Amino acid sequence: MRDCAYMNMKKMEIDDLIGLFKVLSDKTRLRIMHLLVTSQTGVCVCEIMDALSENQYNVSRHLRVLKSVGLVQEKRLGKWANYALAKPENQLQRLCIEIVSSLPKELFALDALRLEKRLALRVNGKCVIGVKSPEWQKIVAQLSQEGGS
């Protein structure tokens, strides 16, 4: 009887591990996780959209998936939704976050640069402008001229 409980626990852990790997095997979700790991702060959906040059539907869909496996948490701040890394509930989540944080920074350099520039538009640490604002468009144009688009 005890062996059966042990096997069920192992199967659940393996299924959880496979689920986490499937979630992180998507390029956009991996990029979002890397942004959240490196930003050390909550990030608004529009900031993620601008940093990744992705549309709202894709970003929101991928955030929902990351949230469903417990890697990301959502916090509503008025009309804005901020996302941050969730506190790991188990060793598997902790290891996934460690793996993402140990990936070569060069792979995500443009995402990181764009997020840094986007976060600089905050007022008192809060997102106050929406996606593709004139301020952001000006920054994107500058980055394009510098070869960082």
Q: What is the pLDDT of residue 1?
A: 46
Q: What is the pLDDT of residue 52?
A: 96
Number of residues that this document lists for the chain: 149
Say which residue the tokens 């998507």 belong to. 26
Provide the total of helices (H) and of strands (E) in the chain, helices listed first. 7, 3
Q: What is the pLDDT of residue 148?
A: 58
Q: What is the pLDDT of residue 18?
A: 84
Q: What is the pLDDT of residue 81?
A: 86
Q: What is the DSSP string of 58-85?
A: HHHHHHHHHHHTTSEEEEEETTEEEEEE
Q: What is the pLDDT of residue 4?
A: 54
In the 8-state DSSP scheme, what is residue 114? H
Q: What is the pLDDT of residue 3?
A: 56
Which residue, among 124, 122, 125, has the nearest Cα to 133 in the 3D structure?
Answer: 122
Element (H, E) at 33: helix 27-39
Write b or e for each residue in 3-23: b if 16 or more Cβ atoms lie within 10 A of its Cβ, otherwise e: eeeeeeeeeeeeeeeeebeeb
Q: What is the pLDDT of residue 11?
A: 57
Strands (DSSP E) found in the chain:
43-44, 72-77, 80-85
- Residues (pLDDT < 50) of the chain are 1, 5-9
| Domains of the chain with bracketed CATH | 2-146 (1.10.10.10)
Query: Environment class of residue 75 by beta-carbon count within 10 Å: exposed (0-12), middle (13-18) or buried (19+)?
Result: exposed
